[in-house]
Amino acid sequence: MNRSFKIFRSSYFLIFLIFITSALSQNKYHSYDEMTKAIERTVSSQKDIAKVESIGQTIEKRDIWVVTVGGKDADNRHAVLIVGGAEADRLIGSELTLRFIEFLTAGYGKVDSITQLVNTTTFYIIPRVSPDASETFFRKPLYARTANTRPTDDDKDTSIDEDGFEDLNGDGLITMIRVKDNRGEWIPHPEDARIMKKAETSKGEQGIYKLFTEGIDNDKDEQWNEDVAGGVDFNRNFPHNYQFFSRGAGQHQISEPETKAVADFCFSHTNIAVVFTYSSNDNLMNPWKKEPRQGTPQEEQLSPRRRMFDDEEFAPRLITSVMDRDEEYTSYVSGKYQEITKLKGAPQSTKGEGAFSEWAYYHFGRWSFTANPWWIPEIEQKKDTVVSDSTKMKKPDDKKGPGSDGKLDVKKGKGPEEKPDEYADQLKTLKWIDSNKMDEAFIRWTKISDKDFPDKEVEVGGFKPYVTTNPPADSIEVIVSKQNSFLAWLGTKLPKIEIRNVKVELIGGKVFRLTTDIANTGYLPTNSAIGDKARWSRNVKVTLKLSKHQSLGSGKTNIILEPIKGNGGRQEIVWLIVSSPEESVTITAESPVAGSATQTVTLK
């Protein structure tokens, strides 16, 4: 396995990889129709190893495509599932999955390491999992959307989708409006007046603006754009750490066609060993850490005293952080991710609430990795110096301006008591925009007339939607080659079982002792610790086939093994067999995620 890693890291390989990727999709973001055409074109270029199918349809009747790269026998080999667009406003992840399909199909038969990879590992790739939501990226007015089009009463006022955005200045973008008003809480930021900050009255600051997302208060409830069209977020609708009644979570877990399609696909493909997602829940730059377990909601309500004395009965049971035995593997993979992509200074990952990648680990029981492939790079001190090298990137932030929820999203998760650096990410974004002369990325505050405020001075302005979450199209290529290298490496790390050290001894008369090792020559264990607990992923099954003239003195003909460690980990099995000499038996070891091995042994 180390050898294959070296091949993937060789400069020859990287050069070829860049050649492959640049020969295919251009530097652009693909609309759903364009993406569908690109997939069809790619798949038809390698019909023997690639196919595309729909796993479900969205509310707006878009098919959710899954591309299988792996040939006729694909479903019988261990597999990696790759999901793009889990956060529908981060189109970059979707683009990267599309380029990985192209990378595999273009390289197959031309680059030995890719041919070998595709011949041994199946890739299921879902490039855009919530296409209705992502399509807003290609429409006007433009706003960052994460939710699908399910009619949803986001503000729970019994009206549905009653107050969406309006493009008040007609520039095709939904940004912000600020209204001069002494009762407002906002002031221009002293460091850069383009940014609005909340006045800190304790420091003598006095608000002079009210700040809203761009639009009118359609239902006259003194809230602006609080219930836009749709919707449910794909990445908030899964059962792990599901937030009931929260915005974007949906009526219940797996309530949407998108989430159901993906969950069904997972459960019907027991051969999926590893799940990889692009999302801000990143666990590759910010590896999961072991934390104390949480209790169930009932246990949490017990008094600490009761919990203390009834430790056994009320020991916390909910698994909410990576299991000990899994952590060493997940941290190794994240280390390799950082080594291969050379990324540094990543932002903190967002905590999953009903997120797909966490469900894939905690409930589906598979190794689950998720990467945030891009963030706003740090600009060095010198004026007009652009640091495009991703190794200089640092702390990005979340989206700014109106999100799908129609709420101000200046900084997620912070209340009114901001810390001094509350606006650091916005300041950094402006520096980056200025350095790159991306004038269109920040809309300068401009006066408009607004019938909600006929007597006030109203201005529209702010960050262009998607600017902070998606790189400019011409930077996609650099990101593609890094991510493809990692995914190709990851594909070589799956568990693989072999039968080794078979030994036959004649004990006496017609009794033979048969001893064998079932070894795992892949890197990852044959099951994660969580998978062993969750029981959705199967352990290795060993079968001993006897003829009708043979019988067992001890041992079983069917054995389910404990998970076998990676990198040559093994388990020994011993049978006593009553048989005539020179007769044979057949040992089979199989697991959907680790392949199968068979050996026929003559007893002599």
List contacts with Ca ion (CB under 5 A): 152-155, 157, 159, 161, 163, 167, 169, 171, 173, 217, 219, 221, 223, 227
CA gap 129, 231 in Å, rounded? 15
CB of 210 to Ca ion, least distance (A): 14
Cis ω for the linkage preceding 107 (within 30 of 0)? no
CB of 135 to Ca ion, least distance (A): 17
CB of 140 to Ca ion, least distance (A): 10
**Closer to Ca ion by Cβ: residue 163 or 258:** 163
**Closer to Ca ion by Cβ: residue 375 or 463:** 463
Contacts of residue 280, defined as CB under 8 A and 6 or more positions apart, other chains included, come to 87, 90, 347, 349, 350, 372, 398
CA gap 495, 524 in Å, rounded? 5
Phi-psi region of 5 (alpha: psi -120 to 50; beta: other; left: phi over 0): alpha
**Closer to Ca ion by Cβ: residue 159 or 600:** 159
Cα–chain center distance at 358 = 9
CB of 178 to Ca ion, least distance (A): 13
**Closer to Ca ion by Cβ: residue 222 or 324:** 222
CA gap 602, 516 in Å, rounded? 13
What DSSP element (H or E) covers 548? none
The answer to whether 64 and 54 are in contact (CB under 8 A) is: yes
Residues written for the chain: 604
**Closer to Ca ion by Cβ: residue 231 or 471:** 231
The answer to whether 587 and 553 are in contact (CB under 8 A) is: no
**Closer to Ca ion by Cβ: residue 84 or 461:** 461
For residue 254, give the nearest of 361, 158, 370, 359 by alpha carbon.
Answer: 359
**CB atoms near residue 409 (< 10 Å):** 16
**Closer to Ca ion by Cβ: residue 132 or 282:** 132
What DSSP element (H or E) covers 234? none
CB of 153 to Ca ion, least distance (A): 4
CB of 470 to Ca ion, least distance (A): 19
CB of 462 to Ca ion, least distance (A): 9
**Closer to Ca ion by Cβ: residue 221 or 378:** 221
Contacts of residue 369, defined as CB under 8 A and 6 or more positions apart, other chains included, come to 274, 275, 276, 277, 283, 284, 330, 333, 334, 337, 357, 490
Q: What is the DSSP letter of 28?
A: S
CB of 421 to Ca ion, least distance (A): 29
